Amino acid sequence: MVIKGVLFDFDGTLTRPGALDFPAIKKALGCPLDQPILEFLDTQPPDLRARLEKILEEEEDRAAEICRPNRGAEKCLSVLKERQIPMGILTRSRLNPIRKALERFKGITIDDFDAIVTREMSLPKPHPEGVIRVAAEMGISPEELLVVGDFRFDVISAKRAGAMAVLLTNGGESVMTPDDPQPDYTITRLEDLPALCPE
């Protein structure tokens, strides 16, 4: 299958891991460590949920101030841009922190992305809705989309949508569990991504 578009996760994929300190955020929210944050918030009564969402949003905005482009991210994006391969971002975060963080990327602006889908616009990963929506916005089928991310939910949403999945390990252990769909490719750094999209 020819790859006609690349869809990136944002935090920990296009940015260096760690700016969003998930264990610390979960502690601040009272979210059990083994539960994903958005799904935990869904189980909270409305008043409490609104308060916790505010805390999460503040943490996301703070992370956007300190995050840095991931190793090889600017190069990878520039190569794809030069080859005119449509690029997108799909995140469980919000648009504002993404916009702010992208200002720190050299040679790339928010306008270089053909589609940016956040939790304000779509059901969050691992739901496949965001992947399907980005493919539609690019005018391609999900099968022609390569989805790149550093977390299980990136791979799961990609495979549920029928897209190809790339797990970015950033040099760490694989985060997949035995019951998860397996990624089509595993790479340790973004420099290795353009080679997966042959010209």
Residues in contact with Mg ion by CB under 5 A are: 9, 11-12, 150-151
CB closer to Mg ion out of 105 and 151: 151
The closest residue (CB) to Mg ion is 12
Q: How far is the CB of 107 from Mg ion (least distance, A)?
A: 22
* Other Cβ atoms within 10 Å of 21 Cβ, number: 13
CB closer to Mg ion out of 35 and 48: 35
Q: How far is the CB of 154 from Mg ion (least distance, A)?
A: 7
Q: How far is the CB of 73 from Mg ion (least distance, A)?
A: 12
Q: How far is the CB of 186 from Mg ion (least distance, A)?
A: 15
**Regarding beta strands 185-187 and 115-117, do their DSSP bridges make them parallel or antiparallel, or are they unpaired?**
unpaired
Which residue, among 156, 167, 145, 22, has the nearest Cα to 89 in the 3D structure?
Answer: 145
What Rg value do the Cα atoms of the chain yield, rounded?
A: 16
Residues 6+ apart with CB under 8 A from 58: none
CB closer to Mg ion out of 60 and 150: 150
